[in-house]
């Protein structure tokens, strides 16, 4: 009766044996047919214990390969691992089916073996991925497992183990199933907590940030957010707070899993918004008759320049009113020298005058300042501007004081004279142009003219060449006769200006300066003129004077180069400008014995004539006497001013000599100590050093440091007048006696 009752179960088991013996015919595991047959054959030959053992081994291999696949960056390795994982999945499926068959057979056997003991454990199937991967910081929900027992069917499964998703690592979830007969089975799932999320960097503080020039910059840094914990960012870049500009700081960070954050940057703009500060006084005081006033100064972290506005000064009766000028560096000057006596009179005094001069009258206008000491004040606004355009202004007042009283010019007034005229205070007025244009190589320029009630004479100041002339040539100067005839002292040569460009030419000849290129002057192409400037003073017979700045512009004649003696232009000469400095051919070091003055000759190579000069001498300290210095003749003869004495150097060692006191009964030892020079033993020389300059006849210079080594003669001490050496002197020392 019992066997008949369980017959459907036996039939079901037989159906399982028939239905699960082969792998999926559709080959859903994507493996080759040969591999599928190989797996099926191998599994069909296993007994129950071998199936369980092989299943556990494959699960472990599957977990290991999955973990490797998550970390490798090699495409070929990924491909190989993927293929092997497909084979493992196929084989695990076949083993699972085979185990199910064994469960069915056990059930059939139970039909015929009534009352036999149940020793077959349940079969556990892990749901979902194994191994499983979960991202750091996320929530992990386990998919669990199911169990099937051959006799008891579905069996409950318990699990143990935890997964800390806040810590990267590999965790194990263990599953256990026990059937009603007490047979237990176990399985496990590996859960890999991984970190594939890069850190996030946030710049702290302002971005961009502005920092004032010269102010120390402290970076606020950046913060890093990452699930793995605290990370300190790395900062690259520097900020030069002493130079205006835009600077970039770059922040980077990498977490413990090697994830690199996206770099972020901060821009630091170093700006200069601070205006310069004047450090000089706003008031300057000078005497009349001068142009130089003084220097306006300021302080700022950057470079700065000065400019000046319009000048406000007292009205004058005649002549050009001086204006304040300033150079970019701050040198403050008058355009012309102010004359205190040219101010418009503000006071009338009575005088007794007669005569035919139409300027005469019964009263005399004068200045109250002669009595009060009031100054003649000129005012202008000076602006200082730094490299960033920041400006500061200061109102400058120049107070001009009177010199000589009423009237300091004896030629223009009644001062101490006995005449009966009144003061002629009207200065001459220039009627000629302040600019003259002439060609090169002439001396005559033109005539300067002025109008005045009386007779006018002319004088001229120093000439300022507004161009660069080659050294070694005499520069022409402007000169003027008392009648106003303006001339050059010598004809100006346009071709003697310092070259400012290089052109290629073909030149030959014995001159060592010649080559395949020629220095020349751009004015030959641009038509630029050669300028000379000077101030002409027109003075009438009453002493009233006016000044005018004259500019003479000299134009080129004949192109580059019309002077056959100096160039290769239109002339027939083959010489070029000598811009090559002399080359020393003599040694840097000379060695002589003490007690001599002659040393040797310094020599050079140069195309022209060379003269020599020498600088200060550096030498060792002496005990006494005149210290010798190096001197040189124009021709290069090097000598001492006086013979050096090796023994006069300051001692640098102590010599101890020991003697036996023959006058002592015990034969005591006497030690005599004296200062000496270590050089007596070492052979060191007494060295004199100076710098020699060689200058050729066109002004090219070369300098070189010369060392003269003085050797000792005769040892310590060869000088019979100063010691006990080979002389007859009786040198002194200190003696220590031991008895």
pLDDT value, residue 732: 38
* 29 vs 113 pLDDT, higher one: 29
Q: Say yes or no to pLDDT of 562 above 70.
A: no
| Residue 485 pLDDT grade (very low, low, confident, very high; cuts 50, 70, 90) | very high
The whole-angstrom separation of Cα 78 and Cα 85 is 10
Structure tokens at 80: 């190989």
pLDDT value, residue 618: 95
The whole-angstrom separation of Cα 236 and Cα 249 is 6
Q: What value does the mean pLDDT take over residues 657-678?
A: 64
Class of domain 583-738: mainly beta
pLDDT value, residue 663: 55
Q: What value does the mean pLDDT take over residues 204-211?
A: 96
The whole-angstrom separation of Cα 544 and Cα 181 is 142
Q: CB of 275 within 8 A of CB of 392? A: yes
Beta-bridge partners for 579:
none
Q: What value does the mean pLDDT take over residues 198-207?
A: 96
- My answer on whether omega of the bond before 654 falls inside 30° of 0, hence cis, is no
- pLDDT mean across residues, the chain: 82
* 96 vs 234 pLDDT, higher one: 234
pLDDT value, residue 29: 73
| Residue 327 pLDDT grade (very low, low, confident, very high; cuts 50, 70, 90) | very high
Cα diameter, the chain: 179
Provide the angle, in degrees to the nearest 10, between the axes of the packed helices 48-71 and 75-112: 160
Q: What value does the mean pLDDT take over residues 536-554?
A: 93
* 72 vs 243 pLDDT, higher one: 243
HSE, CB side, 13 Å, CA atoms: give it for residue 703. Answer: 6
- My answer on whether omega of the bond before 208 falls inside 30° of 0, hence cis, is yes
| Residue 97 pLDDT grade (very low, low, confident, very high; cuts 50, 70, 90) | confident
Q: Say yes or no to pLDDT of 454 above 90.
A: no
The reply to whether 583-738 shares the fold of 430-555 is yes
CB under 8 Å to 207, separation ≥6 — which residues? Answer: 266, 267
pLDDT value, residue 424: 66
Q: CB of 152 within 8 A of CB of 179? A: yes
Q: What value does the mean pLDDT take over residues 252-262?
A: 94
pLDDT value, residue 90: 85
Residue 487's alpha-carbon distances to 40, 481, 483, 490, in angstroms, are 123, 9, 12, 9
* 574 vs 306 pLDDT, higher one: 306
Q: Say yes or no to pLDDT of 576 above 90.
A: no
Q: CB of 198 within 8 A of CB of 260? A: yes
Q: What percent of the chain has pLDDT over 70?
A: 79
CB under 8 Å to 160, separation ≥6 — which residues? Answer: 173, 174, 176
Task: Single out the residue of 718, 515, 689 nearest to residue 589, CA to CA.
Answer: 689
Instruction: Give CB contacts under 8 A, 24+ apart, made by 582-588.
Output: 582/606, 582/610, 582/694, 582/695, 582/696, 582/700, 582/701, 582/702, 583/702, 584/694, 584/702, 584/704, 586/636, 588/704, 588/705, 588/706, 588/707
Q: Say yes or no to pLDDT of 693 above 60.
A: yes
* 408 vs 162 pLDDT, higher one: 162
Q: Any idea what DSSP says for residue 126?
A: E
- H helix count then E strand count, the chain: 8, 48
Name the residue with tokens 């050096």.
Answer: 644
The whole-angstrom separation of Cα 464 and Cα 360 is 42
Fold of 200-271: Immunoglobulin-like (2.60.40)
* 504 vs 596 pLDDT, higher one: 596
Q: Say yes or no to pLDDT of 280 above 90.
A: yes
pLDDT value, residue 9: 41
Find the range with the poorest average confidence among 391-400, 666-675, 730-739. Answer: 730-739
pLDDT value, residue 569: 39
pLDDT value, residue 721: 47
pLDDT value, residue 349: 72
| Residue 589 pLDDT grade (very low, low, confident, very high; cuts 50, 70, 90) | very high
SS3 string of 306-363?
EEECCCECCCECCCCCCCEEECCCCEEEECCCCCHHHECCCEEEECCCCCCCCCCCCE
| Residue 722 pLDDT grade (very low, low, confident, very high; cuts 50, 70, 90) | very low
Strand order of the sheet with strand 234-236? Answer: 209-212, 264-271, 245-252, 234-236
Q: Domain 279-425 maps to which CATH number in 2.60.40.60, 3.40.50.300, 2.60.120.920, 2.40.37.10? A: 2.60.40.60
CB under 8 Å to 133, separation ≥6 — which residues? Answer: 66, 70, 191, 192, 194
| Residue 685 pLDDT grade (very low, low, confident, very high; cuts 50, 70, 90) | very high
What global pTM score does this model have?
Answer: 0.39
pLDDT value, residue 670: 56
Find the range with the poorest average confidence among 426-440, 465-479, 496-510. Answer: 496-510
Q: Any idea what DSSP says for residue 723?
A: S
Residue 631's alpha-carbon distances to 216, 474, 521, 619, in angstroms, are 53, 29, 40, 13
The whole-angstrom separation of Cα 416 and Cα 406 is 10
The rounded radius of gyration (Å) of the Cα atoms in the chain is: 55
Structure tokens at 7: 């017959």
| C-alpha 241: how far from chain center | 12
Q: Say yes or no to pLDDT of 733 above 80.
A: no
* 169 vs 521 pLDDT, higher one: 169
pLDDT value, residue 26: 52
Q: What is the DSSP string of 612-669?
A: EEE---B---BSSSPPP-EEE-TT-EEEESS---GGGBPP-EEEEEEEE-TTSTT--E
Q: Say yes or no to pLDDT of 572 above 90.
A: no
Find the range with the poorest average confidence among 546-550, 568-572, 626-630, 654-658. Answer: 568-572
pLDDT value, residue 415: 38
Beta-bridge partners for 710:
592, 686
Q: What percent of the chain has pLDDT over 90?
A: 54
Q: Say yes or no to pLDDT of 23 above 70.
A: no
Find the range with the poorest average confidence among 87-91, 166-170, 348-352. Answer: 348-352
Q: Say yes or no to pLDDT of 601 above 50.
A: yes
Name the residue with tokens 């149940």.
Answer: 118
Highest mean pLDDT pick, 21-25, 92-96, 332-336: 332-336
Where exactly are the structural domains of the chain?
Answer: 1-116, 200-271, 279-425, 430-555, 583-738
At 83, give phi and psi (nearest 5°). -65, -40
Decide the pairing of beta strands 734-738 and 501-504.
unpaired
Architecture of domain 430-555: Sandwich (2.60)
**Collapsing DSSP states into helix, strand and coil, what is residue 100?**
helix
pLDDT value, residue 653: 86
Q: CB of 268 within 8 A of CB of 247? A: yes
Task: Single out the residue of 551, 356, 539, 566 nearest to residue 456, CA to CA.
Answer: 539
* 599 vs 574 pLDDT, higher one: 599
* 621 vs 579 pLDDT, higher one: 621
Decide the pairing of beta strands 123-126 and 456-460.
unpaired
Degrees (nearest 5) of the Cα angle 477, 481, 482? 135
The whole-angstrom separation of Cα 154 and Cα 147 is 6
The whole-angstrom separation of Cα 467 and Cα 475 is 11
Q: Say yes or no to pLDDT of 108 above 70.
A: no
Per-residue model confidence as pLDDT tens digits over 282-313: 999 999 999 999 999 999 989 999 999 999 99
pLDDT value, residue 237: 95
SS3 string of 388-444?
CCCEEEEEEEEEEECCCCCCCCCCCCCCCCCCCCCCCCCCCEECCCCEEEEECCCCE
The whole-angstrom separation of Cα 264 and Cα 670 is 84
Name the residue with tokens 């707070």.
Answer: 241
| Residue 502 pLDDT grade (very low, low, confident, very high; cuts 50, 70, 90) | low
Task: Single out the residue of 574, 584, 586, 603 nearest to residue 513, CA to CA.
Answer: 574
The whole-angstrom separation of Cα 701 and Cα 695 is 4
Q: What value does the mean pLDDT take over residues 158-181?
A: 94
pLDDT value, residue 478: 95
The whole-angstrom separation of Cα 525 and Cα 506 is 20
pLDDT value, residue 25: 52
CB under 8 Å to 49, separation ≥6 — which residues? Answer: none
| Residue 432 pLDDT grade (very low, low, confident, very high; cuts 50, 70, 90) | very high
The whole-angstrom separation of Cα 712 and Cα 643 is 12
Q: CB of 155 within 8 A of CB of 177? A: yes
pLDDT value, residue 12: 43
Decide the pairing of beta strands 598-601 and 734-738.
unpaired
The whole-angstrom separation of Cα 296 and Cα 276 is 12
The whole-angstrom separation of Cα 452 and Cα 735 is 96
Task: Single out the residue of 397, 375, 369 nearest to residue 293, CA to CA.
Answer: 397
Decide the pairing of beta strands 630-632 and 637-640.
antiparallel
The whole-angstrom separation of Cα 714 and Cα 716 is 7
């Amino acid at each position: 009766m019992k066997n008949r009752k369980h017959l459907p179960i036996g039939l079901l088991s037989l159906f399982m044996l028939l239905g699960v013996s082969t792998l999926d015919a559709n080959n859903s595991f994507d493996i080759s047919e040969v591999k599928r047959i190989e797996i099926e054959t191998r599994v069909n030959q296993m007994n129950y214990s071998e199936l369980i053992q092989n299943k556990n081994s494959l699960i472990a291999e599957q977990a290991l390969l999955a973990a490797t696949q998550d970390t490798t960056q090699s495409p070929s390795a990924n491909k190989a691992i993927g293929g092997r994982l497909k084979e493992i999945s196929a084989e695990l499926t076949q083993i699972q089916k085979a185990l199910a068959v064994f469960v069915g057979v056990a059930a059939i056997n139970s039909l015929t073996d009534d009352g036999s003991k149940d020793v077959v454990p349940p079969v556990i199937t892990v749901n979902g991925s194994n191994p499983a991967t979960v991202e750091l910081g996320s929530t992990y929900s386990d998919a669990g497992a199911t169990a099937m027992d051959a006799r008891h069917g579905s069996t409950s499964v318990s699990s143990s183990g935890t997964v800390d998703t806040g810590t990267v690592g590999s965790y194990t979830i263990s599953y256990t199933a026990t059937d009603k007969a007490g047979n237990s089975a176990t399985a496990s799932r590996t859960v890999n907590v991984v970190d594939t999320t890069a850190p996030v960097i946030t710049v702290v503080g302002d971005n961009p940030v502005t920092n004032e020039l010269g102010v120390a910059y402290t970076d606020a840094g950046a913060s890093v957010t990452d699930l793995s914990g605290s990370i300190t960012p790395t900062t690259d870049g520097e900020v030069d707070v002493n130079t205006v500009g835009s600077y970039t700081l770059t922040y980077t960070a990498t977490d413990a899993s090697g994830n690199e954050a996206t770099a972020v940057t901060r821009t630091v703009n170093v700006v200069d918004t601070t205006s310069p500060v004047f450090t000089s006084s706003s008031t300057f005081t000078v005497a009349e008759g001068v142009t130089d006033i003084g220097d306006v100064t300021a302080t700022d972290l950057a470079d700065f320049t000065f400019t000046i506005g319009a000048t406000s000064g007292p009205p004058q009766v005649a002549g050009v009113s001086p204006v304040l000028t300033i150079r970019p560096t701050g040198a403050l000057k008058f355009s012309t020298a102010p004359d205190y006596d040219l101010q418009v009179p503000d006071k009338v005094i009575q005088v007794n005058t007669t005569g035919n001069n139409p300027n005469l009258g019964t009263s005399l206008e004068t200045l109250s300042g002669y009595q009060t000491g009031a100054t003649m004040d000129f005012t202008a606004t000076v602006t200082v501007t730094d490299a960033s355009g920041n400006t500061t202004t200061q109102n400058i007042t120049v107070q001009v004081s009177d010199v000589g009283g009423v009237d300091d010019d004896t030629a223009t007034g009644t001062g101490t004279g006995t005449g009966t005229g009144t003061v002629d205070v009207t200065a001459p007025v220039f009627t000629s142009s302040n600019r003259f244009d002439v060609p090169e190589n002439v001396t005559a320029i033109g005539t300067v003219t002025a109008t005045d009630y009386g007779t006018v004479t002319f004088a001229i100041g120093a000439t300022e060449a507004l161009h660069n002339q080659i050294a070694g040539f005499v520069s022409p100067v402007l000169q003027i006769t008392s009648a106003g005839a303006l001339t050059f002292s010598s004809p100006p040569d346009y071709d003697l200006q310092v070259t400012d460009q290089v052109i290629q030419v073909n030149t030959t000849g014995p001159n060592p300066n010649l080559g395949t290129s020629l220095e020349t002057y751009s004015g030959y192409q641009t038509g630029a003129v050669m300028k000379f400037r000077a101030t002409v003073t027109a003075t009438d017979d009453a002493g009233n004077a006016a000044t005018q700045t004259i500019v003479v512009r000299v134009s080129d004649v004949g192109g580059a180069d019309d002077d056959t003696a100096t160039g290769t232009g239109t002339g027939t000469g083959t010489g070029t400008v000598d811009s090559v400095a002399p080359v020393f051919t003599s040694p840097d070091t000379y060695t002589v014995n003490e007690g001599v003055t002659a040393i040797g000759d310094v020599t050079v190579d140069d195309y022209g004539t060379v003269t020599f000069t020498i600088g200060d001498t550096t030498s060792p300290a002496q005990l006494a006497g005149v210290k010798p210095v190096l001197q040189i003749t124009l021709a290069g003869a090097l000598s001492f001013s006086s013979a050096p004495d090796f023994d006069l150097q300051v001692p640098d060692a102590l010599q101890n000599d020991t003697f036996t006191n023959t006058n002592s009964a015990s034969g005591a030892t006497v030690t005599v100590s004296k200062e000496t020079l270590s050089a007596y033993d070492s052979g060191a020389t007494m060295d004199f050093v100076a710098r020699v300059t060689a200058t050729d006849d066109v002004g090219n210079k070369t300098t070189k440091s010369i060392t003269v080594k003085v050797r000792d003669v005769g040892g310590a001490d060869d000088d019979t007048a100063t010691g006990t050496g080979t002389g007859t002197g009786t040198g002194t020392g200190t003696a220590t006696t031991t008895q």
